Amino acid sequence: MRSASEYIRGLPKAELHVHIEGTLEPELAFQLAKKHGLILPHATVEELRQAYRFANLQSFLDIYYAGAAVLRDADDFHALTRAYLRNAHAQGVVHAEIFFDPQTHAARGIELGTVLDGLCRARADAERQSGITCSFILCFLRHLSADEAMRTLEEALPHKEAIAAVGLDSSEIGHPPVKFRAVFARARSEGLLAVAHAGEEGPPSYIYEALDILKVRRVDHGVRCEEDPQLLERLARERVPLTVCPLSNVKLNVFRRIEEHNLKRLLDRGVCVTVNSDDPAYFGGYVLENYLAVERGLGLSRDDLTLLARNSIEASFLADSAKQRWFAAIADYARSPGR
């Protein structure tokens, strides 16, 4: 019988909640800092890694935005995205839907086209070399104004063929989804799909707003849905996907320990839960490590793990024909000898 790690690695799966800026490993950060003549606030890779201790979402965001300062040109974004896609492919990810934050980079004078140039070249390289596919989700920073988000959307529209959807991230508390009603309406009118972070630190009401006002296709995080039985029942009935990030939730104190995470309860209630890595360079693991954490911490069975992989394909923005191919591949894998 294969070990849990071997079984998870071999499972075809999608990753639907990963911030490309959050895949910046300290080693690459130092390489890019040297390239651009920048001085990082830590002397060594290990010192920087040791600084990744967070009390809450805001304390993480402070160091996250500082780290992104080393990303300066299209080649930097290409290197960052290729490194993530290589790692994801090695862990059994067959498709990724990747967040990026143009406002983070615009504040440093970097144009959106520069960011997309690097991302799209890396996507083409990865698909040609390994067959992994990916799409990109432009996120608005919710701690900034809705007017700034609208300007970012306007700047993005000439590039919309390279963008699958818009999203909403950054500090959740005090920035409800309704704040971005007009921005998301405009994005949807331009043919872009929508997702949003809600119900990580924010209350269940933020999940309702994301669904009913922003018209999102899936909810990023969403773990606080359990506090509202009617909402929980709706999510299960309507098969609204949640892109859950277990190691992130523990690192940011949404749950004290992985053993307290509600992923298994949500799965058992019929919610379309998926497992993702969020900002893996900061939170201690990519998608394989997140699957392993819940497998060990919550006692997940092989059938549970297989269902999570299937959910990830169902929740993706892949075409129906591609979904059916991956459903069949997952079923074949789960039936294979030595599972």
* Token pair belonging to 132: 């992994």
Range 243-255 average pLDDT: 96
pTM to 2 decimal places? 0.96
Most confident of 13-17, 26-30, 282-286: 13-17
Q: pLDDT value at position 40?
A: 86
Range 37-41 average pLDDT: 88
| Owner of token pair 């000898």 | 337
Q: pLDDT value at position 62?
A: 81
Indicate whether 338 pLDDT > 80. no
Helices of type H across the chain: 4-10, 26-36, 45-50, 57-67, 74-90, 102-106, 112-130, 146-156, 181-189, 204-212, 229-238, 246-251, 263-268, 280-283, 287-298, 302-315, 320-335
pLDDT band at 58 (very low <50, low <70, confident <90, very high): confident
Indicate whether 339 pLDDT > 80. no
Clarify whether 295 is annotated catalytic: no
Indicate whether 270 pLDDT > 80. yes
Amino acid at 232: L
Indicate whether 128 pLDDT > 90. yes
Backbone angles phi, psi at 23, to 5 degrees: -100, 10
Range 159-166 average pLDDT: 98
List 15, 200, 201, 295, catalytic entry: 200
